[in-house]
């Protein structure tokens, strides 16, 4: 390492420490001050995250069961359990509404770690984040599912494809007449590319799976154009 690089690194480290001293960061869940080695969430809260501990390849796991009789999928996985009482709620709210893309990435890394040993993950050609409407992305500044996928990519070394699946813009103009009544319609409007990249197996990445309705529509849309493509589902959280 050259002296110049070294001193730059030294400077960066010191600026980081100074910033930490002047503007201490707080744990997103319990609001205690974070130490410099903690990222977004304190160690205490981190150790108490309600993990699902799903085993590999179980088609009877609760996430997989949501899709039984609805769509054909290969594997389904979620890392955290979600309900109103659990800290997962804070996390999901923050990554969606509190301008916390870095939290989404940190959670994506943990989600990635939770499946890094699975055999089937080695067969995934691309991570496909569930897209949000471009207007929403503009206002929020990021797509939380894409940030989760970025964290996963760092661990699993699987590329992200943001073009394969898109929000259907057309329905948005239709909805202007009756914004509230057709909200569901906007949420469900996706279009998928034909599989030009010769993917064999893709994983759709979402922040939370509740009824599975959004995911079901996405999978139908993809399978309509790509009947032979194998599809798995990976979500940060699952509402039971």
Q: Which residues bind Zn ion (CB under 5 A)?
A: 27, 29-30, 42, 45
Q: Which is nearer to Zn ion, 82 or 164 (CB)?
A: 82
Q: How far is the CB of 46 from Zn ion (least distance, A)?
A: 7
Q: Which is nearer to Zn ion, 41 or 76 (CB)?
A: 41
Q: Which is nearer to Zn ion, 27 or 218 (CB)?
A: 27
Rg (alpha carbons) of the chain, rounded to whole number: 20
User: Three-class SS string for the chain?
Assistant: CCHHHHHHHHHHHHHHHHHHHHCCCECCCCCCECCCCCCCCCHHHHHCCCECCCCCCCCCCHHHHCCCCCCCCCCEEEEEEECCCCCHHHHHHHHHHCCCHHHHHHHHHHHHHHHCCCCHHHHCCEEEECCCCHHHHHHHCCCHHHHHHHHHHHHHCCCECCCCEEECCHHHHHHHHHCCCCHHHHHCCEEECCCCCCCCEEEEEEEEECCCHHHHHHHHHHHHHCCCCEEEEEEEEEEC
Q: Which is nearer to Zn ion, 24 or 134 (CB)?
A: 24
Q: Which is nearer to Zn ion, 49 or 215 (CB)?
A: 49
Q: How far is the CB of 202 from Zn ion (least distance, A)?
A: 35
Q: Which is nearer to Zn ion, 29 or 156 (CB)?
A: 29
Q: How far is the CB of 49 from Zn ion (least distance, A)?
A: 10
Q: How far is the CB of 32 from Zn ion (least distance, A)?
A: 5
Q: How far is the CB of 48 from Zn ion (least distance, A)?
A: 9
Q: How far is the CB of 39 from Zn ion (least distance, A)?
A: 12
């Amino acid at each position: 390492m050259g002296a110049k690089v070294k001193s730059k690194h030294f400077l960066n480290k010191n600026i980081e420490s100074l910033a930490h001293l002047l503007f201490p960061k707080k744990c997103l869940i319990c609001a205690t001050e974070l130490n410099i080695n903690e990222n977004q969430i304190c160690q205490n809260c981190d150790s108490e995250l309600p993990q699902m501990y799903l085993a590999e390849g179980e088609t009877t796991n609760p996430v997989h069961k949501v899709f039984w009789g609805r769509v054909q999928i290969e594997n389904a996985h979620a890392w955290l359990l979600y309900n109103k009482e659990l800290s997962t709620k804070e996390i999901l709210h923050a990554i969606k509404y509190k301008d916390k893309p870095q939290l989404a990435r940190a959670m994506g890394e943990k989600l990635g770690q939770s499946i890094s040993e699975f055999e089937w993950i080695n067969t995934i050609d691309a991570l496909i984040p569930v897209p949000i409407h471009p207007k929403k992305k503009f206002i929020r500044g990021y797509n939380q599912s894409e940030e989760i996928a970025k964290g996963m990519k760092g661990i699993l070394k699987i590329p992200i494809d943001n073009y394969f699946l898109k929000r259907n813009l057309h329905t948005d103009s239709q909805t202007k007449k009756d914004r509230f009544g057709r909200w569901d319609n906007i949420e469900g409007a996706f279009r998928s590319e034909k599989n030009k990249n010769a993917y064999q197996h893709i994983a759709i990445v979402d922040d939370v799976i509740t009824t599975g309705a959004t995911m079901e529509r996405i999978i139908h849309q993809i399978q309509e154009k790509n009947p032979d493509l194998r599809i798995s589902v990976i979500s940060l959280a699952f509402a039971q």
